[in-house]
Chains A and B, each alone.
Chain A
Amino acid sequence: MPGRVVITGLGCVSGLGIGVAAFWEALCRGDSSIRPLTGIADDIKINMGSRLEGFEPEQHFTRDALPLLDRFSQFAILAAREAIEDAGLAAGGEALAQAASVIGTGCGGKQTDEETYAMLYKEQRTRVHPLTIPRGMPSAAASMVSQQMGIKGPVFSVTSACASGAHAIIQGRMMIQSGLVDVALVGGADAPFTYGLLKSWEALRVVSNDTCRPFSSDRSGMILGEGAGMLVLESERHARQRGARIHAELAGCGMSSDAGHITRPDINGISRAITAALEDAAQPAESVDYINAHGTGTVANDLAETEALHRVFGKHAGSLGISSTKSMHGHALGAASALELVATVLAVANNRMPPTANFTGPGEGCDLDYVPNLARQKQVDVALSNAFAFGGLNAVIALKSWGAAVD
């Protein structure tokens, strides 16, 4: 039986700011970072988003480093630095030299790609910058994090749209469980506020024109976000040997694919992923206290997710605290499930459920406890983080509080 995998470091960047403290404080206050979008282009109908405002890359990176860093790589590195420092590990140290890193992204270096395509197609230029490929490739963030942190074991990116971060985290856990590595830096990063991506999301007609109100009767769609979430995973043995502080146990993972509709969520697929995570964690459904929902704020997702929770949890569904923190940090695509796992770790570590902000009253069929608008102080021993991507790719992660795990 594989040993336990624990979480010893957290880092994040989102519309709520840089750093875990700003993130968690805003979540607990129910503060939303969803604001009017300005300065991209006049013909974009998407008018709201959760962007990291006032970000000055020069304050965080040397001039030498910046030419190779797309915005999504910048976010990944900032979150990685924080997670590694939080874990008490040293960039360039022996533990990281042996470590793995898996970073999920839904979009990759779109800023770089789109700037290049604009030069070619719009400005009719015939040449592009030589660093376009290494800066824009979807694995750029993983490569740059590896370089900057001195991570020399298995390093790669995974992509599964809105579940990319969760799938990356699961890969890291599997590598630790297999004995391949003792430490893995895992998470997700995305920076989707580019002209072409916004026009593409606009065409899909799933983005709200005011705000994200998950599970509410007047919900009107998702709101895009950006950022990165990173976590340091370790084998319990490694963490104990070096006396690391443990935030929580990464107790179980469940993955499934709907193999059905490209965008419509499927209750069967979602239910199978949740059930698989519980089985992997060896936890009965009744033990779960809190769920950080996928909760996009679309009519289809929130209803399907609620129905799936009823199916898996039965009577216990009504006892769950369920919240969608996307109401505050937006849907950061490949970063979303990593940011949300950071929030779930903090919920477990602090016995505090962040709320679903902007909640105006339950939508039809949304009849569970969504922790509306106010954070709740309550024992959280076992929690789930849900991620259900377009394309039907589902990933669910189960956490156990470290106190409960060692009892």
Chain B
Amino acid sequence: MLQDAVFKEISAYLKCQPEAISLDTRLDELGIDSLGAITIMYELEDRLDVEIPNEAFDSLKIVNDIVSQLEQLLENKKP
């Protein structure tokens, strides 16, 4: 499931348990700065074979923003 993949990647980056993360948690509250977000997204892009446009990074405020962004990209990929 996409949400699990996102939680797993964030928890791997933060070295915390996935349970510590929820969809409405703010990324900055988790200590994820812009470089951190880029690093997490790099791993997710690789795993899901999608490419997040640069301008989308500015709108990533909470965990659910990442999930939504990836959902949309995966949807667009469908034939």
Q: Which of A's residues lie within 8 Å of B, judged by CB?
A: 63-64, 67, 127, 129-131
Contacts and interface: CB of A to CB of B under 8 A. Distances in A.
Interface string B34-68: 01001100100110000000000000000000000
B15 A63 contact: yes
A127 B42 contact: yes
Interface of B: 15, 35, 38-39, 42, 45-46
B38 A130 contact: yes
A225 B46 CA distance: 36
Contacts of B38: 130
A129 B42 CA distance: 7
A90 to B, nearest CB: 26
B66 to A, nearest CB: 15
Looking at A63, A67, A127, A130, the one whose CB has the most chain B CB atoms below 10 A away is A130
Contact residues of A: prevailing secondary structure: loop
Contact of A64 (B15, B45, B46): B15
Given A127-B45, A130-B42, A131-B35, 8 more contacts: A63-B15, A64-B15, A67-B39, A129-B39, A129-B42, A130-B38, A130-B39, A131-B39
14 contacts: A63-B15, A64-B15, A67-B39, A127-B42, A127-B45, A127-B46, A129-B39, A129-B42, A130-B35, A130-B38, A130-B39, A130-B42, A131-B35, A131-B39
Contacts of A129: 39, 42
Contacts of A67: 39
Q: Nearest 9 pairs between A and B by C-beta?
A: A130-B38, A130-B42, A130-B39, A129-B42, A131-B39, A63-B15, A127-B46, A127-B45, A130-B35
A30 B15 CA distance: 46
Contacts of A64: 15
Contacts of A127: 42, 45-46
